[in-house]
Amino acid sequence: MGGTSDKRHPWWERGVVYQVYPRSFQDSDGDGVGDLAGIEARLDYIAALGVDAVWLSPIFPSPMADFGYDVADYCDVEPLFGTLEDFDRLLAAAHARGLKLLLDFVPNHSSDQHPWFAESRSCRDNPKRDWYIWRDAIAGPDGERLPPNNWISDFGGSAWEWDEATGQFYLHAFLAQQPDLNWRSAELKAAMLGAMRFWFERGVDGFRIDVLWHIVKAQGLPDNPPNPAWAPGVNERDRVLQLHSTDQPEAHAISAEMRALADGYGERLLVGEIFLPNDRLARWHGTPEAPQVHLPFNFCLIENSWDAEVIGKLIADYEASLPLWGWPNWVLGSHDAPRIAARIGEAQARVAMMLLLTLRGTPTLYQGDELAIGAVPIPPEKVRDPRELRQPGIGLGRDPSRTPMPWDGSPNAGFSLAEPWLPLNPDWPARNVAAQEAEPGSMLTLTRALLRLRRAEPALAVGNYRQVACEGALLAYGRRSGDTHLLVTLNLGAEPVALPDQALGGQRLLSTLAGEAHELRGNEGVVFRL
Ligand code: TEU
C-alpha cells in the first residue's frame, strides 16, 4: 500500500499491536481452552484486520494459578497450548503473513512449581536459595511470628508466605503460588536473560514484559508507607504505597540490559508493563546512550474518566512527559482491564476505537474489542480469576474480559467443540466475527476501516499531534505529516456538537456512523482531510 513504509520509523512505531489471550482465542483440540494451533488457524483473520504484530499472553508451562502468569519453565510451551514445534509453526505462519510475534515474559516471579523454586525451598543452603527472596520472621509483641515487613500482595493479604520446612518467609507480590525472583542474584539474572535469548534465537520479534517496575525491591526491604487515601472496600493492595517494593533504580539498570540484549538481535521490540504516573513512566525509556524498553505501556486511557476535557489534558500531559527519544503508545483494553464497551457503552466504544487508532504512537488493541464485546456476567460458580476469588464482589474480577472469541453462529461460537473454560458473551449469536464481517455498520467493519486508514495515511501513525479543541464533549486534534493535514473530531457525548471551524471544507475520510451531518452527531467521530 502506498505511503506505508516511512523508513525513518521502525515497524513498531508505525505498527499496531493486537493482544491475543491464548486460552480464549481458538481451541483446536476440543478441550474448551484455546491453543497455538487454534491461533495459527485464525492468523488470516488477524492479518486481514490490518494489525502489524501479535502479542501472546504467556504460553509457557504453568499450573495456571494465575492463568499462565505463573511460569514453571521459561523455555518451553504449556502442553494445553501445544509444543515447541507448534510454536515454531505459528511463528513461521505469522511471519509468512507479515505479522510480528511478541511473547509475554514474566520476570518478576515464577510459579512455585518451577524446579528453581523446588530447589530454593529445599533447604537454606541450597545454591538457588537466593534466586528467590527469603527472610526470617519478626517476633511480635507476644512473641508471635510476623512477616518481615508490611508489604501487601497485589491480590490481597500479606506479600509473605511462611515456609514451615525451612522456617523462613518468601516474598510474593502476587499469589503465594508466584514467588518473586531475586534479580539481585547474578546467577538468576543470567538464567532469565538466557530465557529471553532462547526465544530471540527462535525468531520472536520481542516481548511484552510483565510488571517490569516490580522486579527489584529496595535493599533491606523497608516497610511501605501507609496510603492515606485508602479506605476499606477497595483493593487491599492500595493500603500501602509501593514505594520500596517497586520502581527501584536497579530495575531500570536491568531494563537497559534487556534492551541491549534485544538490540543485539536487530529490530526487536520490548514493551514494559508499568503502572506509574507520567514523570516516572517516562524514565523507563532510558537515555539515548542506555535505552530501556521501547514502549513503557501507557494505561492513562484506562485509568481516567471518559470525558473529553480529561482526555484532552491527559494526551497533552503524556505527550509532554515523553523524552525526545521516546515514542508514545496507547492502550484501551487488556485481559486485566474492564471491557471498554462495558465501561462506556457500545456507541461510545466506536469513538474510543477511533481515538485509539488515530493518536500519535503505537496502539495496542485487545482481542474482542474489535467486536465491542461488552459486559459478560460470570455466575459465581464460573468465576476463575484468583483476583476475584481472593477479594470477591468489589469489582476486581478479570474473567469478564477473558471470555472466548465468538467466531460464528455454530455451537460454542466456533471457539471450541467443548464447553469453553469461561462463558461466552451472552449476545454471541449476534455479536460474532462472521456476523460482523457481513455488516457494513459493525464495530469490526469500523475497526478494519480505521486500521486501513491508519496504514494508508502516515500522518495518523507517525505524524505530529496538535490539539485543536477540547471543550464540553468535543475532542479534536490535528495529525500532520509533510503536506498531509488530517483532523480528528470526536464527540464523547450523546448530544450533537458543532464541528470545529477547521473541519469546514475538509474532506470526510471516515465516520463512526453511517450517513453524514453538518455537525458531529451524538457518539460520532469523523476524520477529515484538510
Ligand atoms: O498485571 C499486573 C498488574 O499489576 C495488574 O493486575 C494491575 O495491577 C491492574 O490491572 C491495574 O488495575 C500483570 C498481568 O497482566 C496479570 O494478568 C497478572 O495477573 C499479573 O501481572 C501477575 O503476573
Q: What is the pLDDT of residues 33-70, one digit of tens each?
A: 999 999 999 999 999 999 999 999 999 999 999 999 99
Residue 66 in contact with ligand 1 by CB distance below 6 A: yes
Is 1's pLDDT higher than 70? Answer: no
What was the pLDDT predicted at 6?
57
Name residue 271's beta-bridge partners: 208, 295
Polymer length in residues for the chain: 530
Nearest CA to ligand 1 atom 3: 211
Nearest CA to ligand 1 atom 7: 336
Ligand 1 centroid, distance to 395 Cα (angstroms): 14
Q: What is the mean pLDDT of the chain?
A: 97
What are the CA-CA distances from residue 218 to residues 137, 231, 243, 336 (Å)? 18, 26, 9, 27
Nearest CA to ligand 1 atom 15: 336
pTM comes to: 0.97
Distance of CA 337 to the CA centre of its chain: 9
Instruction: Identify the H or E element spanning 322.
Output: none
Classify residue 213 by its DSSP letter. G
Residue 154 in contact with ligand 1 by CB distance below 6 A: yes
d(CA 144, CA 414): 56
- 525-529 and 145-146: which strand pairing? unpaired
Phi and psi, residue 226, nearest 5°: -65, 155
Residue with cell 510480528: 100
Percent of the chain with pLDDT over 70: 99
Residues 510-514, mean pLDDT to the nearest whole number: 98
Ligand 1 centroid, distance to 391 Cα (angstroms): 15
DSSP string over 332-349? ---SSSPPHHHHH-HHHH
Catalytic residue numbers?
A: 104, 210, 273, 335-336
Q: What is the CA radius of gyration of the chain?
A: 23
* Chain segment 486-508, per-residue pLDDT in tens: 999 999 999 999 999 999 999 99
What are the CA-CA distances from residue 141 to residues 4, 131, 144, 201 (Å)? 68, 31, 7, 54
Is 196's pLDDT higher than 50? Answer: yes
Residue 238 in contact with ligand 1 by CB distance below 6 A: no
Q: What is the 3-state secondary structure (H, E, C) of 83-107?
A: CHHHHHHHHHHHHHCCCEEEEEECC
Residue 211 in contact with ligand 1 by CB distance below 6 A: yes
One-letter amino acid identity for 242?
Answer: Q
Is 3's pLDDT higher than 50? Answer: no
Q: How many CA atoms lie within 13 A of 406 on its CB side?
A: 27
Is 461's pLDDT higher than 50? Answer: yes
Is 528's pLDDT higher than 90? Answer: yes
What was the pLDDT predicted at 7?
66
What was the pLDDT predicted at 8?
85
Nearest CA to ligand 1 atom 16: 336
**What 3-state class would DSSP assign to 341?**
helix
